[in-house]
């Protein structure tokens, strides 16, 4: 049984395909389109998934989209009646989007005109946004039973959903409806702090450790914790929700309207201009927003654990990308087991929708847990050599026995290396398949990367990839962290040894590297460890103000327009220094 899942007409458009419940491929459309957060129909991702599965569109048994325009329809209509005027303009935009969702067979027919559109229509299942999130976390997890949380900005009129999962079924317990959203709360303050673009919230998370959470009490009037374990917003602080939140133009790029009201400006100050420096007040406000968001997550999970009595928790949704909060869950809630998928954000909806149909709707038994994020594009050495010869690029192909030594030596010699290996990752984190690497021992590594390639804000940290066996030696943590989804304290005695990946508060967003999951990346770090005694590499995403590279062409172009020192495409090495 083949099931295709998609996230369409929504930010981070994506596709995933399963065979008998096993994940075959999953990827974001932005990797092909080269436009961040691309939000149209994921036709290129769909074609990729079909190729990886070795089937045609007609051979699909089911198609799942993580969107249900009819979910909570009564509440949507009641909201519009209570909010006349601009609300109807927003409703028109949503209606147009809903029509696209309801006529998906036309989009699929454009991919393969030989397929009968009416036969495709019968295969399509619409799965509510947050149920798709819940499924992407629980049905992919190793847990037979768990409490579940989906939490983000908004989707299908819901912003937060709590549930339980047992076997192949999910049971929803409660939800919070739009416009009450912790995601919108975080985004409003992200905008106020001078970061206006879709997806900029991680900048606030990176800035927060530079400040003190002195404004948490003031924020308690904005984000209202409820006795039932959920929350509401004080809507005085937010622009009227009736004018729409996110819009998508012809370019399919999500644009977020300003969310804060004049009252928020009165209480917390005007939005920082692009050319205005970050003051201590901005840093303190970022620390306060991060702190109260963490407190709310702990509040929700504490009540959820009491209500369910379960010890495992699975979390997805945009707010589940808050890796700082994720690292604190087992220390601040009664839960002892945590699973967060590699694509916990909206791209993961494609995977979740397919899993929901397979398990919940079709009542199929659960398959293996998803323990790898490496589900995207891949290229052989022969593919790469043919491409490089066509571009007249000088390169050398090394056997594995020499490759790791060469790359490790270049890293030790202050080199910045583009590492393109195996299948691309599914999700926003580079995990050693499409990564830029550097020596974590260098105190100037962040400056090197920002001057040579990244050119990003100086307050944003870089992440450590560490061999699984050494995690406890370097970090105050007992868990594996395969998807770089959690931040943990670095042991005090190790911080001076790895300054390039130690944030200002002594933490790191680590990735534990497992030999059985990613053997080549493991071998590279092991070669570096043997030479330096440090089982860690600095790892950041292979891109330059663009989606993470997806093909040898993207990687080579990024290498050529930056000052990267070495490019490794599988076993093919390109260097700016002769003789290496």
State the Cα angle at 444 between 440 and 448, rounded to 5°: 95
Residue 367 resides in a domain: no
Helix 86-102 vs helix 73-82: angle between axes, to the nearest 10 degrees?
160
Which has the higher per-residue pLDDT, 70 or 414?
Answer: 414
The per-residue pLDDT of the chain, averaged, comes to: 93
pLDDT at 117: 83
Residue 565 resides in a domain: yes
Model pLDDT for residues 445-495, shown as the tens digit of each residue: 988 898 888 778 889 999 999 999 999 999 999 788 999 999 999 999 999
Q: Are 114 and 103 in contact (CB under 8 A)?
A: no
What DSSP character marks residue 453?
I
Does 496 share its domain with 385? yes
CA distance 165 to 148: 7
Does 174 share its domain with 126? no
Does 390 share its domain with 482? yes
Residue 466: in which H helix or E strand, if any? strand 463-467
Phi, psi of 172 (to 5 degrees): -75, 135
Residue 78 structure tokens: 């009641």
Flag the least confident range among 25-34, 115-124, 189-198, 570-579: 570-579
Residue 194 resides in a domain: yes
Helix 104-111 vs helix 86-102: angle between axes, to the nearest 10 degrees?
50
- Sorted by sequence, the CB contacts under 8 Å of residue 217 that are 6+ apart come out as none
Q: How confident is the model at residue 72 (pLDDT cuts 50, 70, 90)?
A: confident
The proportion of the chain whose per-residue pLDDT surpasses 70, expressed as a percent, equals: 95
Taking alpha carbons only, the member of 381, 366, 239, 213 closest to residue 295 is 213
540, β-bridge pairs? 436
Residue 11 structure tokens: 């930010």
Model pLDDT for residues 291-350, shown as the tens digit of each residue: 999 999 999 999 999 999 999 999 999 999 999 999 999 999 999 999 999 999 999 999
Model pLDDT for residues 216-264, shown as the tens digit of each residue: 999 999 999 999 999 999 999 999 755 567 888 888 999 899 999 999 9
Q: How confident is the model at residue 69 (pLDDT cuts 50, 70, 90)?
A: confident
Model pLDDT for residues 37-53, shown as the tens digit of each residue: 999 999 999 999 999 99
Q: Are 531 and 412 in contact (CB under 8 A)?
A: yes
Residue 356 resides in a domain: yes
pLDDT at 559: 97
Number of domains observed in the structure of the chain: 3
Does 162 share its domain with 237? yes
Task: Tell how strand 124-126 and strand 62-65 pair up.
Answer: parallel
Residue 445 resides in a domain: yes
Does 325 share its domain with 264? yes
Q: How far is CA 274 from CA 50, 197, 210, 262, 518, in A?
A: 43, 12, 19, 19, 40
Residue 227 resides in a domain: yes
CATH number of domain containing 191? 3.30.420.40
Residue 369 resides in a domain: no
Flag the least confident range among 147-151, 279-283, 419-423, 459-463: 459-463
Domain that holds residue 112: 2-135+350-361
pLDDT at 240: 79
Does 330 share its domain with 399? no
CA distance 65 to 8: 7
Q: How confident is the model at residue 84 (pLDDT cuts 50, 70, 90)?
A: low
Q: How confident is the model at residue 86 (pLDDT cuts 50, 70, 90)?
A: very low
Is the predicted pLDDT of residue 92 greater than 50, yes or no? no
Residue 371 resides in a domain: no
CA distance 101 to 9: 8
What mean pLDDT is predicted for residues 508-532? Answer: 97
Give the DSSP letter string of 230-281.
-EEE-GGGB--GGG-SEEE-TT--EEEPP-B-HHHHHHH-PPPPTTSPPPHH
Q: How far is CA 4 from CA 21, 47, 114, 352, in A?
A: 11, 11, 18, 10
Does 455 share its domain with 331? no
Model pLDDT for residues 238-250, shown as the tens digit of each residue: 997 555 678 888 8
Model pLDDT for residues 12-39, shown as the tens digit of each residue: 999 999 999 999 999 999 999 999 999 9
- Sorted by sequence, the CB contacts under 8 Å of residue 235 that are 6+ apart come out as 179, 241
Does 275 share its domain with 229? yes
Last residue of a domain, one of 342, 371, 390: 342
């Amino acid at each position: 049984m083949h099931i295709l899942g998609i996230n369409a007409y929504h930010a981070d458009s994506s596709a995933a395909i399963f065979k008998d419940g096993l994940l075959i491929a999953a990827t974001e459309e932005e990797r092909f389109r080269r436009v961040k957060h691309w939000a149209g129909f994921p036709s290129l991702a769909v074609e990729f998934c079909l190729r990886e599965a070795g089937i045609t569109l007609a051979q699909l048994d089911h198609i799942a989209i993580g969107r249900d325009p009819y979910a909570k329809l009564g509440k949507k209509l009641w909201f519009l009646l209570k909010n006349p005027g601009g609300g109807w303009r927003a409703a028109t935009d949503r209606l147009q989007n809903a029509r696209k969702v309801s006529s998906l067979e036309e989009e699929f027919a454009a991919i393969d005109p030989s397929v009968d559109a009416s036969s495709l229509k019968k295969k399509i299942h619409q799965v509510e946004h947050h149920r798709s999130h819940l499924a992407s976390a629980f049905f992919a997890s190793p847990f037979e039973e768990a409490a579940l949380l989906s939490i983000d900005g908004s989707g299908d009129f819901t912003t937060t959903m709590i549930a339980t999962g047992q076997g192949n079924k999910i049971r929803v317990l409660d939800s919070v409806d739009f416009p009450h959203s912790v995601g919108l709360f975080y985004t409003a303050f992200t905008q106020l702090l001078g970061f206006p673009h879709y997806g900029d919230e991680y900048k606030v998370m990176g800035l927060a450790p530079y400040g003190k959470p002195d404004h948490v009490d003031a924020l308690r009037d904005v984000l209202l914790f409820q006795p039932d374990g959920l929350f509401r917003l004080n809507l005085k602080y937010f622009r009227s929700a009736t004018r729409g939140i996110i819009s998508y133009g012809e370019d399919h790029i999500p644009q977020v309207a300003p969310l804060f009201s004049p009252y928020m400006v009165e209480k917390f100050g005007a939005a920082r201009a692009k050319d205005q420096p970050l003051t201590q007040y901005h840093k303190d406000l970022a620390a306060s927003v991060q702190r109260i968001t963490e407190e709310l997550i702990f509040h929700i999970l504490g009540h959820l654990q009491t209500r369910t009595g379960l010890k495992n928790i699975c979390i997805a949704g945009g707010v589940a990308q808050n890796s700082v909060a994720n690292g604190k869950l087992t220390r601040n809630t009664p839960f002892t087991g945590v699973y967060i998928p590699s694509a916990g954000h909206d791209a993961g909806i494609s995977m979740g929708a397919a899993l929901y149909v397979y398990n919940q709707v079709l009542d199929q038994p659960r398959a293996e847990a998803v323990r790898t994020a490496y589900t995207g594009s891949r290229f052989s050495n022969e593919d790469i050599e043919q491409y490089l010869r066509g571009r007249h690029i000088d390169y050398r192909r090394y056997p594995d026995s020499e490759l790791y030594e060469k790359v490790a030596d270049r890293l030790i010699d202050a080199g910045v290396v583009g590492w393109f290996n195996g299948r691309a990752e599914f999700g926003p984190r580079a995990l050693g398949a499409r990564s830029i690497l550097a020596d974590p021992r260098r105190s100037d590594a962040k400056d090197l990367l920002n001057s040579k390639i990244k050119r990003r804000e100086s307050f944003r940290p870089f992440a450590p990839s560490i061999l699984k066996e050494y995690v406890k030696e370097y970090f105050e943590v007992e868990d594996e962290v395969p998807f770089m989804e959690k931040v943990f304290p670095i042991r005090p005695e190790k911080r001076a040894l790895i300054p390039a990946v130690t944030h200002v508060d002594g933490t790191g967003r680590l990735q534990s590297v497992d030999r059985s999951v990613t053997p080549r990346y493991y071998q590279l770090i092991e070669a570096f460890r043997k030479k330096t005694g440090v089982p860690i590499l600095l790892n950041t995403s292979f891109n330059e103000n663009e989606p993470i590279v997806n093909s040898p062409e993207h990687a080579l172009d990024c290498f050529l327009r930056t000052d990267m020192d070495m490019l490794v495409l599988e076993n093919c090495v390109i260097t700016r220094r002769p003789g290496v």
